[in-house]
């Protein structure tokens, strides 16, 4: 059970060593090499996953999502937070640090 809460200042990065991914059509399938579990990302999730080429703060992810999909921050916040929490629960991303 994860104890660190995700906040807008949280910086996250891909857990590359543990996951292998492959594009299937316009979805992304990722396999957890240590458990054999796999997870599908739909096209929007795959886009957001693509933004994680470097460690990035959740705030910056929100900004990019707002710009990419032409939605407001209010519209973007719940799904992006849900998605990031989901990635964190599944060990797909790790937390680098919290900014003060």
Place of tokens 């640090």: 97
Q: Is 31 in the site for another protein (CB under 8 A)?
A: yes
**H/E element, 21:** strand 19-24
Binding mask 41-80 for another protein (x = CB under 8 A): ----------------------------------------
Q: Are 40 and 87 a contacting pair, CB within 8 Å?
A: no
Plot region of 35 (φ>0 → left; ψ -120 to 50 → alpha; else → beta): alpha
State yes or no: residue 38 binds another protein (CB under 8 A): yes
Binds another protein (CB under 8 A): choice among 9, 27, 60, 82: 27
Name the residues that contact another protein, by CB under 8 A: 20, 22-25, 27, 29, 31, 33, 36, 38, 40
């Amino acid at each position: 059970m994860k104890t660190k809460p995700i906040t807008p200042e949280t910086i996250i990065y891909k857990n590359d060593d543990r996951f292998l991914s492959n594009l299937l059509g316009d979805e992304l399938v990722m396999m957890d090499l240590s458990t054999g579990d796999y997870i599908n990302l739909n096209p929007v999730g795959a886009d957001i996953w693509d933004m994680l080429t470097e460690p990035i703060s959740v705030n910056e992810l929100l900004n990019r999502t707002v710009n990419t999909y032409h939605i407001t921050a209010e519209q973007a916040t719940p799904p992006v937070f849900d998605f990031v929490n989901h990635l964190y629960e599944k060990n797909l991303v790790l937390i680098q640090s919290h900014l003060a």
